Amino acid sequence: MKISRRYALKSFFSLISYISLSNFSLAKNQSLIGKDVIIIGAGISGLIAASTLIQKGANVIILEAKNYIGGRIRTDRSLGSPFEYGAGWIHGPSHDNPIRNLANRSNSSLFITEDDSCELFNLSGNEIDEKVWDKIEKVWEEITYNEIDRNTKGSILDAIYEYDSNIWNDPNIRWVFSAYEEFDYGGPIHEISAGLIQDMSSFPTDDVIFKDGYDKIINLLAKNLKIKTNSIVKSVNYMSKNNIIVSTKSKNYECDYVICSVPLGVLKSNSIEFNPALPNYKQDSIEKVGFGTVSKLALKFTDQFWNSDVQYYYTVAKETGRWPIWMNYRTFSKKKILMGLCFGDYAKKADLLTTEELTEDGLKVLTNIWEDDVGKVQNVLRTSWLSDPFTRGAYSFPRVDNSKEDFENLAESIDNKLFFCGEHTYLKYLATTHGAFLTGIRAANEVIKATKN
């Protein structure tokens, strides 16, 4: 990989952090008239890349494998209140966060989910005493803020063992690291690089959800774009100097530039054939960087057996990552819904369970607390991102053997023709919608720059 490009990428990212993104584009003139661009994938990164290029006059077609757009932003309203299959929160919805900007532009109604509004239940299903909880959090804080820094080698679990070799036997400790770390990073605690997560960053202020659905921003972004759904890209041939051929099962598309925004899980599966093959350094990084899963289960009950004003119920289980967090819909909706989440290694198993098995598993954890009060389930929605062939997991994380260069390699374009974006290409804001969005703008601006060469 060329060092100079790395610097170019870095300086671009630091530049856009300071620029208002309200117009979505850094460029104003129409220098791309007559240029054809194919974007693979209609997730948030592909959509904003397309908008940016269209403003410059390019002819852009987005090829999307699924029958819907938005990728890992997908809202289902069949429970009477939005269920988000993918992204649920705007993390750090400050005014610098471009997703906050989109939420305002789409007149979305936002709701602050207060992290402090919560109750924690132990393995026996009893509420955990404040003092015990303070102790659990103190251990977590000490390890996260005192034990780990940029130079720490190994995984978060290694750091926990280093701190105290017995502490991992405590289910409360396993709970706190799953709920606070596996959730954020999306991988199993023994695989997440303790050192590299220090390079990740966030915008300030408390997280919010969309009361009327995250997909409102997708619909806003997709306006006036040419999107072909049900178009599974099978190959990208960029051998010729003159053009690139992008092929689906039924059609070949000829273009000048390609932006590939498919998830890291799809790149790992090699289901898209690149000709010539991607360079070794890029392929290595695709294989190395972590891509985990997170399972969600929304249970709509006929009767409510829990309080309306507690935002989160936290539940300790024997197995790390087994339903540590339940979000209570009653704080923002009339619907009697509890939404549970599984993380890390447990999520990998949960994603593959049948809906009946998954529901039974979630209900066991709830029954441990509310016993016979747990009533009839009226309706269920669940995710299974691991078995989705066009995602193959939830989001990326820095694995123990990764380096910063791996993420730069994922972002790096090839021959000024083939460009890459998506959440996995930006370590600083990995695994987020704002990160994905910013990479779409970065890739579009790389295309604009390439036309000047």
State both tokens at 130.
């404040």
43 sits near ligand FAD (criterion: CB under 6 A): yes
Answer yes or no whether residue 49 interacts with ligand FAD by CB under 6 A: no
Outline where DSSP puts E strands in 160-294: 208-210, 226-228, 233-237, 244-248, 252-255, 257-260, 273-275, 290-292
- Residue 219: phi, psi to the nearest 5? -65, -35
Smallest separation (angstroms) from ligand FAD to the CB of 389: 8
Range list of β-strands (E), 302-383: 312-315, 325-328, 337-342, 377-382
Please choose, out of 34-42, 130-138, 196-204, 369-377, the segment that lies near ligand FAD by the rule CB under 6 A: 34-42
Binding-site member from 39, 156, 194, 262 for ligand FAD (CB under 6 A): 262
For the bound state, the minimum distance from the C-beta of residue 4 to ligand FAD, rounded and expressed in Å, comes to: 26
Residue 87 interacting with ligand FAD (CB under 6 A): yes
Quick check: helix, strand or coil at residue 188? Answer: coil
Q: Tell me the window of 4-12, 17-25, 86-94, 308-316 that interacts with ligand FAD (CB under 6 A).
A: 86-94
**Residue pair 397/431 in contact by the 8 Å Cβ criterion:** yes
Q: Which is nearer to ligand FAD, 38 or 194 (CB)?
A: 38
Paired tokens of 340: 């549970």
What's the closest the beta carbon of residue 395 comes to ligand FAD, in angstroms? Answer: 5
Stretch that binds ligand FAD, among 68-76, 239-247, 298-306, 408-416 (CB under 6 A): 68-76
Rounded Cα distance, 45 and 224, in Å:
16
Total residue length of the chain:
453
- Contact set for ligand FAD, span 332-391 (CB under 6 A): 383, 385, 390-391
Q: What is the rounded CA–CA span in Å between residue 265 and residue 291? A: 6
**Residue 440 and residue 54 in contact, taking contact as beta carbons nearer than 8 Å:** no
User: Which residues of 3-105 form beta strands (DSSP E)?
Assistant: 36-40, 59-63, 75-76, 83-84, 89-90
- If one asks whether residue 91 binds ligand FAD (CB under 6 A), the answer comes out as yes
Q: Is the peptide bond before 279 cis (omega within 30 degrees of 0)?
A: no
232 touches ligand FAD by CB under 6 A: yes
Q: Name which of 121 and 346 has its Cβ closer to ligand FAD.
A: 346
Tokens 């410059």 — which residue?
Answer: 56
* Residue 97 in the binding site for ligand FAD (CB under 6 A): no
Minimum CB distance to ligand FAD smaller for 45 or for 108 = 45
In the bound state with ligand FAD, the residue whose beta carbon lies nearer, of 296 and 417, is: 296
Residues that bind ligand FAD (CB under 6 A): 40-46, 63-66, 71-73, 86-89, 91, 232-233, 261-263, 266, 272, 294, 296, 383, 385, 390-391, 394-395, 422-423, 431-433, 436
